Chain A
Amino acid sequence: EVQLVESGGGLVQPGGSLRLSCTASGFSFSNFWMSWIRQTPGKGLEWVANIKEDGSQKYFIDPVRGRFSISRDNAKNSLYLHMKTLRAEDTAVYYCARENGPFDYWGQGALVTVSS
């Protein structure tokens, strides 16, 4: 059974940093692109970033480029989102998702709240 489990969410002050993790199981993690997608009541679902199977290619949406980075450790079946210089507008539930054409499996989400 494919499972994706996020961790690392929490409350952080504006300008702070946070690292989200996503641990995968039930499939060959190293064979898939992986994405981070966030959801807010106001903006809905927003794709944030993705990373190629071997980590050699990474893409970001404009609002987070330069502040967020994405990485993976295929030996640990883990995906990471490193977030810095966080802003109030980064407050969201962050999902990791497997790319298989569409996003065919999603984690349960990690809530990130940026507030003083």
Chain B
Amino acid sequence: ETVLTQSPATLSLSPGEGATLSCRASQSVGTSLAWYQQKRGQAPRLLIYDASNRATGVPARFSGSGSGTDFTLTISSLEPEDFGIYYCQQRIKWPPTFGPGTKVDIK
């Protein structure tokens, strides 16, 4: 299966700061990569699909980039509601797999 590795494991930042999260795939997934946000006690929420497309209702401060094996989720300026865990997921290689997550917490 395609293994996704995320870095860093934890990112401690203050509101207003920018965040850069990385996801690396063990083999090329083209641009079939999504990013999800999960807050405590909630289900994951789709943020970005096909590497760079924002899902409905997702603020413009979230952006995704990359292709092949290396992907980035960027949050331009953190809002208090952005703190949580972010997961990447690929869907082009069966089975669909998720990364272990990057926790963005308040510094």
Contact = CB atoms under 8 A, between A and B. Distances in A.
A24 to B, nearest CB: 14
A61 B91 contact: no
Given A101-B50, A102-B49, A104-B49, A47 B43 contact: no
A101 B44 CA distance: 16
Nearest to A62: B95
A76 B85 CA distance: 34
Nearest to B94: A59
Interface in B48-78: 49-50, 55
B43 A104 contact: no
Contact of A45 (B32, B44, B46, B50): B44
B34 interface: yes
Chain B's interface size range is 20 to 34
Interface of B: prevailing SS: loop
A95 B43 contact: yes
Interface of A: 35, 44-47, 59, 61, 95, 101-109
23 contacts: A44-B87, A44-B100, A45-B44, A45-B87, A45-B89, A46-B98, A47-B96, A59-B95, A61-B95, A95-B43, A95-B44, A102-B34, A102-B49, A102-B55, A103-B34, A103-B36, A103-B46, A104-B46, A104-B49, A106-B43, A106-B44, A106-B45, A109-B43
Interface of B: 32, 34, 36, 42-46, 49-50, 55, 87, 89, 91, 94-101
